[in-house]
Structure 1
Amino acid sequence: MINIVGQIMLYVNNQDETVKFWTEKVGFSVIAEVNEQGMRWIEIAPTKDAETSIILHNKEVVAKMSPELNLGTPSLMFFTDQFEQLHSNLINKDVTVGEIVNMPSGRVFNFADSENNYFAVMEKR
Structure 2
Amino acid sequence: MNLTIHQTYLPQDDPDAALAFYRDALGFEVRNDVGYDGMRWITVGPVGQPDTSVVLHPPAADPGITDEERRVISEMMAKGTYAGINLATEDLDGLFEKLQASDIEVVQEPTDQPYGVRDCAFRDPAGNMVRIQQVK
CA separation in 2, counterparts of 1:48 and 1:39?
28
Scaled by the length of structure 2, the TM-score of the pair is 0.76
Q: 1:36 to 1:95 in 2, by over 3 A?
A: closer
> What secondary structure does 2:105 align onto?
coil
CA separation in 2, counterparts of 1:3 and 1:37?
34
Q: What one-letter code is carried by the residue in structure 2 that aligns with 1:7?
A: Q
State the 1:74 CA deviation: 2.8
State the 1:17 CA deviation: 1.6
Could you tell me whether the CA contact under 8 Å between 2:96 and 2:109 is conserved in 1?
no
> What secondary structure does 1:100 align onto?
strand
Could you tell me whether the CA contact under 8 Å between 1:101 and 1:109 is conserved in 2?
yes
State the 1:40 CA deviation: 3.2
CA separation in 1, counterparts of 2:4 and 2:83?
17
State the 1:84 CA deviation: 1.1
CA separation in 1, counterparts of 2:103 and 2:40?
28
Q: CA RMSD in A?
A: 2.5
Pair 1:79-2:77 in alignment: no
C-alpha offsets along residues 53-100 of structure 1, whole Å, 9 cap, x if unaligned? 11011124x14x131789564331101001111011011111122222
Q: Which moved more, 1:35-44 or 1:79-88?
A: 35-44
State the 1:16 CA deviation: 2.1
Aligned to 2:112: 102
Q: 1:115 to 1:37 in 2, by over 3 A?
A: closer
Unaligned runs of 5+ in 2: none
Scaled by the length of structure 1, the TM-score of the pair is 0.82
Q: What one-letter code is carried by the residue in structure 2 that aligns with 1:88?
A: E
Aligned to 1:44: 44
Q: 1:66 to 1:20 in 2, by over 3 A?
A: farther
> What secondary structure does 2:109 align onto?
coil
Could you tell me whether the CA contact under 8 Å between 1:31 and 1:48 is conserved in 2?
no
Q: 1:32 to 1:94 in 2, by over 3 A?
A: same
State the 1:20 CA deviation: 1.8
Q: How does 1:16-55 map to 2 (within 5 A)?
A: 16-36=16-36, 40-55=40-55
